């Protein structure tokens, strides 16, 4: 999951508003910083079809040897003919290369006899494509950090990154075209209107100076398509009124930051309320445009809908912290909440408890009814545990048939009652299962003197086994 988070961090740095040169360097830097490859080289496809190495990251020697080199349009055809297809990626193993002179730069690394080790002549390519499928460049990577040929997850991350990079390059090209057009034609209204209306990303102009700062002046078709509003619904209204501030004063602070960026665009990601009431995420840039003497300034906003990316980030974060079978928090999230609870305990002195719950006879469920029935039973037991704890308590699945409950500010009779309720809830017959599943529960006290979760889980685990032994002697 660390690699996934790094992937989204570097993908965000390739976001809307960067120039083409900045975007290309961000792509190769992102591969090295976020995906664990030692070297990344980006060949940009020129209008005549040839490829030029525009950006290199990870090796000064590779940068010196490759940067600026131009290759024929068919430079990759021969290699791709002998390559393995890994989704959209193309992997050329060294053993398939014809004998003769090696073209390009080759890293000086030891050659391993392990068939899965990365060889200095191995090559991995990721085609970069625009939204309409046009090939805009070729990304080649080398020297995986574990010195092995990338596995399925590593490949998928690279393929996702390559998709985002292709979109970012296409968008950066458009941004460069807009900026070049603006510089060359000195903000010609006719030319600006044509570019504004024809842009693929959403664009709006917003009044910056009095008397009506924040008022929407103009929107293009793409902006209306993204937000669901018609032009006459937006023009004349207050743009900040559509934004969902994460905290009070966020919009005002961003406007103040915008005034300090000078000619550099201010990059943002904000929630926006669509016409249908849905909240979407917009990512883009805002720039103050000075129209000249005695003319009011306005803000040029360029946006794209990045709701899908934000949803994917939230899903990844959720999956990283929750058990995929039951949806309960996993050990990682339990540890995070325990650390916060321990800090509160040390501040207030109010003690809590961690309960370690192990299911008795659950193996018999899997043996007699199969693992699918066992999974259904685990989900049922998870629901029962959630129904018995208090609001604010955490029920986590540690793995297999082991669960843990974190309860703050509880002790004595209240804790005994909670254990009794949990024991009774689990002992109730499971639907369509005759095996009498019960639970052995041990507790550990959350006190200011506890060092960490692992210590307390060991204490609760020991108590659980004592409870299990007492049950066996009855």
Q: What is the pLDDT of residues 344-367, one digit of tens each?
A: 999 998 999 999 999 999 999 999
pLDDT score recorded for residue 407 = 94
Task: Could you list the beta-strand ranges (E) of 290-385.
Answer: 298-305, 352-360
Q: What is the pLDDT of residues 373-395, one digit of tens each?
A: 999 999 999 999 999 999 999 99
pLDDT at residue 54 greater than cutoff 90: no
Q: Are residues 69 and 159 in the same domain?
A: yes
pLDDT at residue 190 greater than cutoff 70: no
What is the C-alpha separation between 223 and 202, in angstroms, rounded?
Answer: 4
pLDDT score recorded for residue 16 = 46
pLDDT score recorded for residue 405 = 95
Q: Are residues 209 and 159 in the same domain?
A: no
Q: Give me the number of domains the chain comprises.
A: 3
Q: Are residues 83 and 227 in the same domain?
A: no
Residue 24 is part of a domain; what is its CATH number?
Answer: 3.30.450.40
Q: Which of 108, 141, 176 is the last residue of a domain?
A: 176
pLDDT at residue 37 greater than cutoff 60: yes
Indicate whether this model's pTM tops 0.85.
no
Q: Are residues 156 and 249 in the same domain?
A: no
When pLDDT is cut at 50, 70 and 90, the band that residue 425 belongs to is very high
Range(s) of the domain holding residue 228: 186-310
pLDDT score recorded for residue 175 = 73
Least confident of 19-28, 140-149, 187-196, 257-266: 187-196
Q: Which of 157, 176, 195 is the last residue of a domain?
A: 176
**In this structure, is residue 181 part of a structural domain?**
no
Burial class (CB in 10 A: 0-12, 13-18, 19+), 236: exposed
Q: Are residues 193 and 218 in the same domain?
A: yes
**In this structure, is residue 35 part of a structural domain?**
yes
pLDDT score recorded for residue 250 = 78
Among 199, 126, 123, residue whose Cα is nearest residue 163: 126
State the DSSP string of 278-292.
Answer: -EEEEEEEEEEE---
Q: What is the pLDDT of residues 195-250, one digit of tens each?
A: 666 667 888 888 988 888 889 998 988 899 989 999 999 999 999 888 887 766 77
Of residues 35 and 429, more confidence is placed in: 429
Residue 292 is part of a domain; what is its CATH number?
Answer: 3.30.450.20
Q: What is the pLDDT of residues 404-424, one digit of tens each?
A: 999 999 989 999 999 999 999
Of residues 168 and 326, more confidence is placed in: 326
What is the three-class DSSP state of 47?
coil
**In this structure, is residue 232 part of a structural domain?**
yes
Q: What is the pLDDT of residues 75-132, one digit of tens each?
A: 888 888 899 999 989 999 988 888 765 667 788 888 888 888 989 898 899 998 888 8
Q: Are residues 197 and 341 in the same domain?
A: no
Q: How many helices (H) and strands (E) would you count in the chain?
A: 15, 17
Q: Which of 176, 207, 242 is the last residue of a domain?
A: 176
When pLDDT is cut at 50, 70 and 90, the band that residue 254 belongs to is confident
What is the C-alpha separation between 457 and 331, in angstroms, rounded?
Answer: 11
């Amino acid at each position: 999951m660390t690699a996934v988070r790094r992937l989204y961090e570097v993908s965000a740095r390739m976001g809307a508003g960067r120039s083409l040169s900045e975007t290309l360097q961000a792509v190769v830097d992102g591969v090295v910083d976020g995906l664990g490859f030692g070297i990344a080289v980006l060949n940009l496809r020129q209008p005549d079809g040839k490829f030029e190495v525009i950006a290199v990251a990870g090796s000064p020697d590779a940068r010196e040897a490759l940067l600026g080199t131009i290759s024929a349009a068919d430079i990759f055809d021969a290699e791709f003919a002998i390559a393995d297809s890994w989704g959209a990626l193309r992997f050329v193993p060294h053993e398939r290369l014809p004998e003769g002179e090696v073209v390009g730069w080759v890293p000086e690394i030891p050659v391993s006899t392990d068939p899965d080790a990365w060889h200095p002549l191995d090559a991995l390519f990721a085609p970069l494509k625009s939204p309409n499928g046009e090939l805009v460049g070729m990304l080649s990577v080398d020297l995986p950090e574990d010195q092995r040929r990338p596995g399925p997850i590593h490949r998928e991350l690279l393929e996702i990154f390559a998709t985002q990079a292709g979109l970012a390059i296409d968008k950066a090209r458009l941004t460069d075209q807009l900026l070049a057009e603006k510089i060359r034609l000195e903000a010609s209204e006719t030319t600006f209107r044509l570019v504004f209306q024809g842009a693929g990303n959403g664009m709006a102009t917003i009044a910056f100076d009095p008397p009506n700062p924040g008022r929407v002046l103009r929107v293009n078709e793409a902006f209306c398509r993204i937000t669901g509003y018609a032009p006459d619904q937006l023009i004349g209204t207050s743009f900040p009124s559509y934004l969902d501030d994460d905290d009070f004063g966020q919009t005002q602070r961003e406007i103040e930051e915008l005034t300090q960026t000078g000619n550099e665009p201010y990059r943002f990601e904000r929630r926006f309320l669509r016409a249908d009431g849905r909240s979407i995420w917009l990512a883009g840039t805002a720039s103050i445009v000075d129209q000249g003497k005695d003319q009011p300034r306005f803000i040029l906003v360029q946006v794209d809908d990045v709701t899908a990316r934000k949803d994917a980030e939230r899903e990844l974060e959720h999956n990283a912290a929750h058990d995929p079978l039951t949806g309960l928090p996993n050990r990682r999230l339990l540890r995070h909440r325990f650390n916060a609870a321990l800090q509160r305990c040390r501040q207030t002195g109010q003690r809590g408890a961690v309960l370690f719950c192990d299911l008795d006879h659950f193996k018999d469920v899997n043996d007699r009814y199969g693992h699918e029935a066992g999974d259904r039973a685990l989900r049922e037991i998870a629901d029962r545990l959630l129904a018995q704890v208090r609001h604010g308590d955490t029920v986590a699945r540690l793995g297999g048939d082991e669960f843990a409950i974190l309860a703050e500010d509880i002790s004595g009779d209240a804790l005994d009652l909670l254990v009794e309720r949990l024991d009774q809830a689990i002992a109730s017959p499971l639907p369509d299962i005759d095996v009498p599943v019960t639970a052995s529960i041990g507790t550990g006290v959350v006190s200011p003197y506890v060092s960490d979760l692992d210590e307390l889980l060991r204490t609760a685990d020991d108590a659980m086994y004592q409870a299990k032994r007492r049950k066996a002697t009855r």
